[in-house]
Amino acid sequence: MDQFIQQFLTGLSIGSILLLVAIGLSIIYGAMGIINLAHGEFVMLGAYTAWFLQVQFGMGLLTSLVPIFILVAAFGWLIERFVLSFLNNRPLDTILATWGVGIMLQQAVRLTAGGELRYVKMPEILSNSADVLGVQISLYRIFLLAASLVLFAATWLLMNRTTVGMKLRAIIQDRSVAASFGVNARRIYGLTFAYGAGLAGLAGALVSPLKSVSPEMGTGYVIDAFMVVVLGGVQSLVGTVASAFVLGELSGVIAFLQNDTVAKATVLLAIVVLIRFRPQGMFATRVRA
């Protein structure tokens, strides 16, 4: 029984990390329809910002979360304003452009911050482990789970309960009609992209105490993030959450019973099969065509 609870909590933890990384993409790719291959690099930028604030100003991870969000979001806004906004409705060019941006970011970080792995300190109060239902689990992992759910709730509220969210949804449904009602599509797109980028940055900062920080760290995360969003259903936020936790539990269990190599392969295979028979993903939002 203990082992079962342990494994269940592990799955939740893996899922929460997937959710953290995927939630920004779920806005940018899911809602705005931009295939952003630089998403992983936004995650990486967040981790490096955390490292930079820690080394330069001695800021702890928790206090630097807000500045990290603002900095990476501002950077995302610049990318949207000066690169992507010129590529509206040109998905192939967008893929190439974001890929190029990603490579440039990697090399820029390598040139400025150096190529070696960087260290981000775990907050002191969260560095122990706690007893949950009779099993030991890291406090920091519990914190990540909570953080991912809070960010999800904030995003859901933003999309569904604010005017910005309503305008965004209007633009997604029909840009020209929304524009004729006086919605400034350009501005909303910029803000939304910035928000998604900021979330990615937060994800990078939050996972950095458990993982390593290097210029290439984003490459792995971007794949995970796309897997989660595609499996969950591209336009569904709830789908993203469900799919993150399903993938987390699945890979956790398979990794426990077999090993991580098998888990990775099986999970990918399962996604391919599912997409073959249900291309819209687990949760499809109905959109009037």
Partner 1 sequence: MKLTRRQLIRNTAAFGAFASAGFPHIWIKNADLASAAAGEIKVGVLFSLTGTTAIIEESLNKATLLAIEEINASGGIKGMKIVPVVEDPASDPATFADKARKLVVGDKCVSVFGSYTSASRKAVLPVFERQHNLYWYPTLYEGRECSKNVIYTGAVPNQQQDEFIPWLINKFGKKFYLIGSNYIYPKEENNYCKKLLQKYGGEVVAEEYVPLGHSEFSSVINKFKSTQPNVIFSTVVGDSVVALHRQYHAAGLDPEKMPMASLTTSENEVAAMGGEAAAGHFTSAPYFMVYKSPENEKFVAAYKKRWGADKVTHFVSEACYFQIHLFKQAVEKLAVSDITPPNIRDAVKGQETLAPQGKVRIEPDNLHTWLWPKIAQAQSDGQFKILVQAKDWLKPLPYAAYPGQVCSEKGLVVQN
Residues interacting with partner 1, by CB under 8 A? 3, 6-7, 10, 13-14, 17, 107, 110, 114-119, 121-122, 127-129, 136-141, 209-214, 216-217, 220, 251-253, 255-256, 259-261, 263-264
**Closest distance of CB 208 from partner 1, Å:** 10
> CB-wise, 135 or 183, nearer to partner 1?
135
> CB-wise, 12 or 159, nearer to partner 1?
12
> CB-wise, 33 or 220, nearer to partner 1?
220
**Closest distance of CB 257 from partner 1, Å:** 9
**Closest distance of CB 191 from partner 1, Å:** 32
**Closest distance of CB 37 from partner 1, Å:** 18
> CB-wise, 7 or 88, nearer to partner 1?
7
Task: Encode the chain in three state secondary structure.
Answer: CHHHHHHHHHHHHHHHHHHHHHHHHHHHHHHCCCCCCCHHHHHHHHHHHHHHHHHHHCCCHHHHHHHHHHHHHHHHHHHHHHCHHHHCCCHHHHHHHHHHHHHHHHHHHHHHHCCCCECCCCCHHHCCEEEECCEEEEHHHHHHHHHHHHHHHHHHHHHHHCHHHHHHHHHHHCHHHHHHCCCCHHHHHHHHHHHHHHHHHHHHHHHCCCCCECCCCHHHHHHHHHHHHHHHCCCCHHHHHHHHHHHHHHHHHHHHHCCHHHHHHHHHHHHHHHHHHCCCCCCCCCCCC
